[in-house]
Amino acid sequence: MDQIPSYVTSLPDGTDTGLYLAVDLGGTNLRVCSVDLHGDTTFSIEQLKAAIPPEIMVAKTFSELFSFIVTRLHAFLETHHAEYAHIDLVSESKSRLLLGFTFSFAFEQSALNRGSLMRWTKGFNIPDAIGQDICSVFQAEIDKRNIPVTVAALVNDTVGTLLARSYTSPGTTTTLLGAIFGTGTNGAYVERLENITKLNPSRDGIMVVNTEWGSFDNELMVLPNTPYDKAVDIESIHPGIQMFEKRISGMYLGEILRHAILSMVSSTSEISPESRLNQQFAIDSSFLSMAAAEDSPDFVVLRFQLSHHFGIDADLDTAEGVKVLALAIGKRAARLAGVAIAGVVLKSGRLEAPKKVDVESGVSRRHRGFWASLFESFRNFVGRWSGWLLRSKIEVHEDVIDIGVDGSLIEFYPGFEDTIRSTLRDIHAIGLAGERRIRIGIAKDGSGIGAALVARMAGIELERAL
């Protein structure tokens, strides 16, 4: 896997403050937001969301993509922060707004605000982008329109998710892993600098690493490979890559189901040549969520959907078959997702780490009595609600391994997280005891908040350098 260093070398603990902009270019949507960090693990957010038009995904030039983004950014500023909509409006006292750009593609980074695209994935293909400095192209479009905004940081969405979860997670625990299960799938985790040998690290500390696990096992040495997987891959715009992602993420699950249904009925005349089912991407993965959850009498809901979307007049058996397929595809996806999470948890060594020793008492948690546990629960409670403990130097040690997740698939596919959890238990080196220590929390729209947090980090570094 690529294992890309992010240049993010600290994790927010919930005390960060300030107003920052974030732009998130996902696989499906563009989000523009402003994040006001309150410094007590909470924030307020304003946002605008727009679907990315298909022609922009395959635009002729990289600038064209950013021109689309800046048009939306400008509209957002006019609505929510009019004083920053044009350079002439900015008073002396106000400086430019710092922006973190979440870019959910594989890029090679050389500083917080410098990086170039390695390859397009998901539905994107803009050849002239490869190798160009992403922030410079973005900044050039902003400057063309005299908007007082500085692109301060380039952030992978998984890195943003990790930071957002770390800022908002209860207690003083920082987060180990940020993982996305949306249009695509990927994860970023906290690694010790000394282990990131490609950077020749000369000091201690940590750095967030973007794994790009979507491209795990492109050689298919261990991944399952059904005829439907093969068909999905051959018809994709990037055959042979992102093989792990093609078995897990929202962009592809509907395609796997489509090919499976087509082969299920190919010997019959149930599907007319005009049916939408013959078109690539005709089934959205939200259809799988619906089919997997179907429990209406005689499958009336699923049969209506099959008829409504695809002109298929499904009998009971066919509808039940579609449900079984949707369940199998979703379960396989969630189990593979669990494997990725397990890999990071095991690599981190946090399961074997000796029980942390309580700062004040010097007593190992495991041997602490009832009153000490009660005291700790109370401190956790207070910490969660007031943020007071976050600022104090008292460490609340927990055995929790915290994981932040984001993406419509994990949010909406029924039982996705439960299946991840059962997978963690099934992996011998984790088991029931390990799985109990793993806390998974949704970092809703985490990439936006995360990008704001990295922009803040970049701003502080800039100030220090001046």
Phi/psi of residue 32, nearest 5 degrees = -115, 130
Binding mask 154-193 for ligand ADP (x = CB under 6 A): ----------------------------xx----------
Q: Where are the beta strands (DSSP E) in 182-331?
A: 185-192, 206-210
> Of the listed pieces 52-60, 159-167, 179-187, 300-308, which binds Mg ion according to CB under 5 A?
179-187
Residue selected from 5, 26, 184, 214 as contacting Mg ion according to rule CB under 5 A: 26
CB of 414 to Mg ion, least distance (A): 20
Site for ligand ADP in 287-306 (CB under 6 A): 289
Pick from Mg ion, ligand ADP, none: which does 13 bind, CB < 5 to 8 A by kind? none
408, interface contact from ligand ADP, Mg ion, none, CB < 5-8 Å by kind: ligand ADP
Which tokens go with 252?
């592809």
Contacts (CB under 5 A) with Mg ion, residues 182-201: 182
What is the helix (H) or strand (E) element at residue 149, kind and residue range? strand 149-155
How near is the Cβ of 280 to ligand ADP at its closest, in Å? 14
Question: Does residue 392 have an active-site annotation?
Answer: no
CA-closest candidate to residue 213, choices 328, 106, 103: 106
- Indicate the pairing of strand 185-192 with strand 206-210: antiparallel
Q: State how far Cα 122 lies from the chain centre.
A: 14
- Of 101, 134, 15, nearest to 452 by C-alpha is 101
Strand ranges (DSSP E) for 201-328? 206-210
- Which of the listed partners (ligand ADP, Mg ion, none) does 330 bind, with a CB threshold of 5 to 8 Å by partner kind? none
Size of the site for ligand ADP (CB under 6 A): 17
Q: Is 446 in the site for Mg ion (CB under 5 A)?
A: no
Q: Note if 157 is an active site residue.
A: yes
Residues 396-425 that bind ligand ADP (CB under 6 A): 407-409, 412-413
CA distances from 448 to 29, 165, 256 (A): 12, 11, 30
Task: Report how far residue 106's alpha carbon sits from residue 109's, in angstroms, rounded to the nearest whole number.
Answer: 10
Work out what residue 28 binds among ligand ADP, Mg ion, none; the CB cut-off runs from 5 to 8 Å by kind: ligand ADP
Task: Determine whether 116 is an active site residue.
Answer: no
**Between 196 and 327, CB nearer to ligand ADP:** 327
The angle that helices 316-348 and 250-265 make with each other, rounded to 10 degrees, is 140
Stretch that binds Mg ion, among 26-34, 132-140, 240-248, 304-312 (CB under 5 A): 26-34
- 448 binds Mg ion, rule: CB under 5 A: no
Question: CA 444, 251, 157, 50 torsion: positive or negative?
Answer: negative
Q: What SS3 class is residue 398? A: coil
Q: Which residues bind Mg ion (CB under 5 A)?
A: 26, 182
Q: Which residues are catalytic?
A: 104, 119, 157
